[in-house]
Amino acid sequence: MNRQTTSTPATGAAGRSVLRLDAEDLNKCVQCGLCLPSCPTFRVTGDESLSPRGRIALMRQVQDHGAPLTTEVLTSFETCVQCRGCEPACPSGVPYGHLMEQTREALARQGRISPWWQRLAMEGLAHPRFLRLGSSALAGAQRLRLVPGPVARRFGLPGRLPIRREAHRASGTDVYLFTGCVMDVWQRPVHQAAQRVLEAAGFGVTPTADRAPCCGALHTHAGLGDRARQLAEATIAALSTDGSGDGPPILVDSAGCGAALKDYGHLLGTAAADRFSRRVLDVTEWLARHEDRLPAAEPLALRVAVQDPCHLRHVQRAHLPTRTVLAHYVTELVELDDDGLCCGAGGAYSVLQPELAGDIRARKVAAIDRARPDVVASANPGCSLHLAAVGVPTIHPLELVDRALNP
């Protein structure tokens, strides 16, 4: 576990533990337990303290009764994948994701989670030149077999990192294509495929590239709220007219980034951030809205299983457009039978909690095996890397569309 101490209470001025959660949000939970089957950590452990209901009960204990931040409490909070699978299952509308983000921010402020090395690594995400340089050096080390297999697996590295990347090019100003940080360095061909698909549908595309290098999603998850808000403000300023939040649609091909960008209104609480968030769409949402503009093509003769990234399905609630678009370009789509249960990737979760992440992934892999697909389509870089690490053939849905359009 990545904590610095294990049993000292974190206290406020009155000597009580401090989370500063919205009491109204916290009190929405009636402890019914209907969310438990949708929680991956509860499913693999059967442990109430690793369930949404258990975590909320501990938040109340800490906030309302000054309970100390014991090892059990910190473990409960740190092992949450933040997949938010519990939210659609909750009849009371508990905004669990925001409660956990606020909890983590309080703990990070008190130095109880997110140690210095994690903060340093997160800072690197906002510096694209540094990120590219570091990644290229790592790619060179891979070629020289200097990266041991266990290390590569522990950090979820792709089998062969790119040393160089083809430069971005703008083809018009109809839409922005948000390119982000790690995905742009490790999986730029996905962005290029998305751009070609959008262009084939008649849209001019401007990749955001270095002007908006990081959405701050991983910072929010790690409790680094101040840095996340700085990155959000910088992104809005870079992609808006006069910082107003207005401008062309912002299309995203990473579910995690899309969810973060759509949440800027909540994160910053400003009118400009609200306007900005309303411009954000997953690329497949945009294409499904313009289905009449999708070019005809011979469908790929493939049985494709759609793996819904949690931040597309549970957070953005925008997983159906993937199917709408893919149905034009592959011969067979199959559903997994696990009701969208998380795969265990969870941003940096698979690195920070490798055992639980592996157990959760094993359930997803079993569901994939039952569906017997030729390939798995996943619209989130973390999920695809996490699944590919155990040999699941994954591809971004827009890469499949691009293949059909450009055989």
Q: Which residues of the shown chain bind ligand SF4 in the complex (CB under 6 A)?
A: 29-35, 38-41, 52-53, 55-56, 80-86, 89-90, 92, 94, 96
Beta bridge partners of 300: 330
**89 or 181, CB closer to ligand SF4?**
89
**What tokens appear for 152 in the block?**
């590569």
> 3-class secondary structure for 26-60?
HHCCCCCCCCHHHCHHHHHHCCHHHCHHHHHHHHH
Q: How far is the C-alpha of 125 from the C-alpha of 342, rounded, in Å?
A: 24
**59 or 326, CB closer to ligand SF4?**
59
Beta bridge partners of 66: none
Residue ranges in 201-292 assigned as alpha helix (H): 217-221, 225-238, 255-262, 264-268, 271-278, 283-289
Work out how close the CB of 352 gets to ligand SF4 at its nearest, in angstroms, rounded to a whole number: 13
Which of 39, 18, 180 has its CA nearest to residue 105? 18
Work out how close the CB of 228 gets to ligand SF4 at its nearest, in angstroms, rounded to a whole number: 18
**34 or 238, CB closer to ligand SF4?**
34
**98 or 396, CB closer to ligand SF4?**
98
Work out how close the CB of 107 gets to ligand SF4 at its nearest, in angstroms, rounded to a whole number: 15
Work out how close the CB of 190 gets to ligand SF4 at its nearest, in angstroms, rounded to a whole number: 25
**49 or 208, CB closer to ligand SF4?**
49
Work out how close the CB of 91 gets to ligand SF4 at its nearest, in angstroms, rounded to a whole number: 6
**98 or 196, CB closer to ligand SF4?**
98
**80 or 326, CB closer to ligand SF4?**
80
**139 or 357, CB closer to ligand SF4?**
357
Amino acid occupying residue 401: V
Work out how close the CB of 40 gets to ligand SF4 at its nearest, in angstroms, rounded to a whole number: 5
For residues 212, 187, 87, 362, the Cα torsion angle rounded to the nearest 10 degrees is -160
Residue carrying the six token digits 């206290």? 11
Rounded alpha-carbon distances, angstroms, from residue 33 to 39, 91, 92, 131, 279: 10, 10, 11, 42, 35
Amino acid occupying residue 350: S
Work out how close the CB of 344 gets to ligand SF4 at its nearest, in angstroms, rounded to a whole number: 10
Angle among Cα 133, 211, 128 to the nearest 5 degrees reads 15
Work out how close the CB of 39 gets to ligand SF4 at its nearest, in angstroms, rounded to a whole number: 3
Residue 200 in contact with residue 272, Cβ under 8 Å? no
Q: Report the Cα 244 to chain-centroid distance in Å.
A: 26
